[in-house]
Amino acid sequence: MPTKSLEIEPADLWRILKASGIKYVKFIIVDINGAPRSEIVPIDMAKDLFIDGMPFDASSIPSYSTVNRSDFVAYVDPRAVYIEYWQDGKVADVFTLISDIADKPSPLDPRRVLNDTLEQARSKGYEFLMGVEVEFFVVKEDGGKPAFADPGIYFDGWNVTVQSQFMKELITAIADAGINYTKIHHEVAPSQYEINIGATDPLRLADQVVYFKIMAKDIARKYGLVATFMPKPFWGGVNGSGAHTHISVWKDGKNLFQSNTGKITEECGYAISAILSNARALSSFVAPLVNSYKRLVPHYEAPPRGLSGATQIGAP
């Protein structure tokens, strides 16, 4: 069971949640595509799962395991616990770290891989901070198809009535969850918004992005809306959505990417070079969907697909 660097024991966490009035625990497993899978358990029945882990059938999650090796265990990660205050505050969402039945860490658990990579970097004296600007659409349904819910534009200063109450509740939920956000504003396209999540530990940031998506989709449904994080939900001259990521690397309290000369540091140059030289492989993570490539067209603040020799699909 993973215990290294944990700030609180899982059994103690269970007692705190029960004493706080939590009635249900939702154990969250992040699959290889970054999508949350979950199982909800009454708090009294969850005690042993906090201590011993939650068994689950990994073969039922695409690309996770085969039927003959389906027994996996999700261990509570006490660093990643959130309360669904936008509901009634009675459900605790707990992120997990995955091992197989022999207690061997799963290489298909993206949280585990990121956690272990960060631990390896820390063993060499490096610390990472990351922030992200997450773009998304909040749309309505019209005849079974997505349609704009507001006519807004970038930094729209008008009170967009159809979205205002939803946005107020969403902002409140973000603050209650303790997510380190700096602002939300209307983006370029109608019905498009952006949230800026400030710099933090990369694993914590990844959890907060996943959790923000959960709450945004959930709250949107309350207002008859749909929150979508598809890269290109609309065609015909409409901007797509991206996630602009900010990265800094620190050692001995010094930002290795920060320079007083106005030029990038040598370490920053190496990092940029490594990202560019591995751009094709990284596309598996940053552009994993067919829909991702519909966004990669000229003039839309996204790199064109010319790097791969692919032709453009239609007109933007």
* Claim to verify: residue 113 and residue 201 sit in the same structural domain: no
Q: Tell me, what's the pLDDT at 2?
A: 41
Residue 159: pLDDT band (50, 70, 90) is low
Q: Is the pLDDT of residue 162 over 70?
A: no
CA dist 191 → 152, 244, 282 (Å): 6, 19, 29
Highest mean pLDDT among 102-106, 181-185, 264-268: 264-268
Share of the chain above pLDDT 90, in %: 63
Domain check: are 110 and 186 in the same one?
no
Q: For the segment 52-66, what is each residue's pLDDT rounded down to a tens digit?
A: 999 999 888 887 878
Q: Are residues 131 and 59 in the same domain?
A: no
Other C-beta atoms lying within 10 Å of the C-beta of residue 150? 21
Select from 107, 123, 139 the last residue of a domain. Answer: 123
H/E stretch holding 306: none
Q: Half-sphere exposure (CA, 13 Å, Cβ side) for 133?
A: 12
Is pLDDT at 82 greater than 60 in this prediction? yes
Could you tell me if residue 5 is inside a domain? no
Q: What does the angle CA 79 – CA 83 – CA 27 come to, to the nearest 5 degrees?
A: 65
Q: Is there a contact between 298 and 316 (Cβ–Cβ < 8 Å)? A: yes
Q: Domain containing 103 — which CATH number?
A: 3.10.20.70
**Region 273-293 average pLDDT:** 90
Residues 218 and 290 in one domain: yes
Which tokens sit at 239? 């901007």
Domain final position from 77, 108, 123: 123
Cα 306 to chain centroid distance, Å, stands at 28
If you average pLDDT over residues 175-186, what whole number do you get? 89
Per-residue H/E/C for 43-69: HHHHHHHHHHCEEEEHHHCCCCCCHHH
| Structure confidence at residue 314 as a pLDDT band (50, 70, 90) | very low
User: Final residue of a domain: which of 123, 158, 180?
Assistant: 123
CA nearest to 210, candidates 34, 18, 14 = 34
User: What is the model's pLDDT at position 4?
Assistant: 47
In whole angstroms, give the CA distance from residue 267 to residue 68: 46
Per-residue pLDDT at 256 exceeds 70: yes
Given this model, what pLDDT does residue 78 score? 94
Place of tokens 């395991």: 65
111 contacts 203 by C-beta, under 8 angstroms: yes
Regarding whether 272 and 132 lie in a shared domain, the answer is yes
Let me know whether 100 and 27 are in one domain.
yes
- Say if residue 68 is in the same domain as residue 156: no
Q: Please check the confidence at residue 311 and state whether its pLDDT lies above 70.
A: no
CA-closest candidate to residue 40, choices 32, 30, 49, 31 = 49
Q: Is 3 part of any domain?
A: no
Domain range for residue 23?
10-123
- CATH number for the domain including 131? 3.30.590.10
Same domain, 231 and 103: no
Domains: count for the chain: 2
Mean of per-residue pLDDT scores for the chain: 88
Residue 158: the pLDDT is 64
CA–CA dist 112, 95 (Å, integer): 11
Give domain status of residue 171, yes or no.
yes
Return the pLDDT at 46. 96
Structure confidence at residue 161 (pLDDT): 59
Asked whether residue 312 carries a pLDDT value surpassing 50, the answer given is no
Interval 135-151: pLDDT, tens:
999 999 888 888 999 98
Together in a domain, 119 and 133: no
Domain membership flag for residue 97 = yes
User: pLDDT for 12-40, tens place per residue?
Assistant: 999 999 999 999 999 999 998 889 999 99
Compute the chain's Rg from CA coordinates.
Answer: 21
Q: pLDDT digit string (tens) for 64-81? A: 878 888 889 999 999 999
Query: Is 314 part of a structural domain of the chain?
Result: no
* Residues 134, 72 share a domain: no
- Looking at residue 263, its pLDDT comes to 87
- C-alpha dihedral, 262 to 268 to 269 to 274, nearest 10°: -160
